[in-house]
Amino acid sequence: MDAIFLDRDGVLNEEIGYASDPKDLRLITGATAAIRVFNERSIPVVVVSNQSGIARGYHTETDTKRFNAALSKALQKEGAYVDGWYYCPHHPDGKGEYAKVCDCRKPMPGLLRRAADEMSLDLSRSVVIGDKASDIAAGIAVGCQTVLVLTGHGANEWAVWREDFQPSHVAPDLARATEWLLAKWRRICRPIGS
């Protein structure tokens, strides 16, 4: 695996709707341990997140950066870290400079491509993990393996969209997605002669 791309809300932290205040941060059980597993294997972990609350006027980019910093600090307290943070502040029905159709709002793959370019990552050897059909569609568009987690919006998305998109795997949460990926990776990456 070259990299793990994670959605933020509903995958790492509890989905509360337009999360922006660090006091509302609640990590999903097992998320920190899952990230630590990738960290220990030197697999970059990159967060790619739609943050349309900025475009809608619910909060600012500064608020988003503050929330990301609080999330980063919470992960670091438990020995885990994120290698890159990317977010899309746009929405077609937003306000001002953020009101636009862009290539960085998932399901468009612009954030994934930007992160891959800036961090020299091979998307065809990477995995996108998210709780929405838009996360899975963005990953598929650039040739990533994809995992839908059933936390956040995942269970509802899977119930509604299961006929329309096919993630590589569906897992109850990030911890179980990580277990599946490691088992799959071991099968693919067997030492020569084994």
pLDDT at 165: 80
Q: Is residue 173 flagged as an active site residue?
A: no
Domain boundaries, the chain: 3-188
Burial class (CB in 10 A: 0-12, 13-18, 19+), 75: buried
Q: Is 76 labeled as ligand-binding?
A: no
d(CA 3, CA 47): 11
Q: Is 164 labeled as ligand-binding?
A: no
Among the listed residues 7, 63, 83, 135, the single catalytic one is 7
The three-point CA angle 139-140-144 to 5° equals 60
Beta carbons of 49 and 88 less than 8 angstroms apart: yes
Q: Is 18 labeled as ligand-binding?
A: yes
φ and ψ of 46, to 5 deg: -125, 130
CATH superfamily of 3-188: HAD superfamily/HAD-like (3.40.50.1000)
pLDDT at 189: 47
Q: Is residue 9 flagged as an active site residue?
A: yes
Neighbours of 100 (CB within 10 A): 13
Structure tokens at 16: 């509360």
Radius of gyration of the chain (CA): 16
Among the listed residues 2, 9, 93, 122, the single catalytic one is 9
**pLDDT by position in tens, the chain (length 194):** 899 999 999 999 999 988 888 999 999 999 999 999 999 999 999 999 999 899 998 999 999 999 999 999 999 999 999 999 999 999 999 998 999 999 999 999 999 999 999 999 999 999 999 999 999 999 999 999 999 999 999 899 898 888 888 899 999 999 999 999 998 876 544 443 33
pTM of the model: 0.93
Give me the amino acid identity at 46. Answer: V
pLDDT at 151: 97
Q: Is 120 labeled as ligand-binding?
A: no
pLDDT at 187: 54
pLDDT at 47: 98
pLDDT at 17: 87
